[in-house]
Amino acid sequence: MNPTIDLLTAHRSIRKFRDQPIPRDLFLELIRAGQSAATSSHVQAYSIIHVVNPDNRKALAELAGGQRYIESCSDFLVFCADMKRSTESAERAGAEVVRGMTEQLLVASIDTALMAQNVAIAAESAGLGLCYIGGIRNNPAEVSELLKLPEHVYPVFGMCLGYPDQNPEVKPRLPLASILKEDYYDDSQDEALVAAFDDTMGDYYRQRTGGNKDTTWSEQLKPLFTSKLRGHMREFLIKRGFEMK
Amino acid sequence: MNPTIDLLTAHRSIRKFRDQPIPRDLFLELIRAGQSAATSSHVQAYSIIHVVNPDNRKALAELAGGQRYIESCSDFLVFCADMKRSTESAERAGAEVVRGMTEQLLVASIDTALMAQNVAIAAESAGLGLCYIGGIRNNPAEVSELLKLPEHVYPVFGMCLGYPDQNPEVKPRLPLASILKEDYYDDSQDEALVAAFDDTMGDYYRQRTGGNKDTTWSEQLKPLFTSKLRGHMREFLIKRGFEMK
- For residue B121, give the 3-state DSSP assignment: helix
**pLDDT at B135 (0 to 100):** 98
Helix (H) / strand (E) containing B50: strand B46-51
Distance from CA of A182 to the nearest CA of B (A): 5
B121, B139, B236: best mutation site toward chain A, by most A Cβ within 10 Å?
A: B121
What is the ipTM metric for this complex?
Answer: 0.98
Task: Please check whether residue A213 touches B, CB under 8 A.
Answer: no
- Which CATH architecture best describes the domain A3-170+228-239? 3-Layer(aba) Sandwich (3.40)
Task: Please check whether residue A187 touches B, CB under 8 A.
Answer: yes
Residues near B16 by beta carbon (within 8 Å), at least 6 away in sequence: B69, B72, B164, B165, B166
**pLDDT at A218 (0 to 100):** 97
pTM of the model: 0.98
> pLDDT under 50 in chain A at which residues?
none
Distance from CA of A5 to the nearest CA of B (A): 5
Q: 152-181 in A: which are within 8 Å (CB) of B?
A: 153, 156-157, 170-171, 173-174, 176, 178-181
In Å, what is the CA distance from B134 to each residue of A98, A179, B137? 19, 20, 6
Q: Which residues of A touch B29 (CB under 8 A)?
A: 1, 5
Can you tell me the distance from the alpha carbon of B34 to that of B81, in angstroms, rounded to the nearest whole number?
14
Query: Topology of domain B3-168+228-239, per CATH?
Result: NADH Oxidase (3.40.109)
Counting Cβ atoms within 10 Å, is residue A114 exposed (0-12), middle (13-18) or buried (19+)?
buried
Single out the residue of A102, A242, A41, A226 nearest to residue B240, CA to CA.
A102
The per-residue pLDDT string of chain B (245 residues; one tens digit each, 9 = 90 and over) reads 799 999 999 999 999 999 999 999 999 999 999 999 999 999 999 999 999 999 999 999 999 999 999 999 999 999 999 999 999 999 999 999 999 999 999 999 999 999 999 999 999 999 999 999 999 999 999 999 999 999 999 999 999 999 999 999 999 999 999 999 999 999 999 999 999 999 999 999 999 888 888 899 999 999 999 878 899 999 999 999 999 99
Q: Which residues of B touch A157 (CB under 8 A)?
A: 110
Residues near B144 by beta carbon (within 8 Å), at least 6 away in sequence: B153, B154, B155, B240
Distance from CA of A144 to the nearest CA of B (A): 9
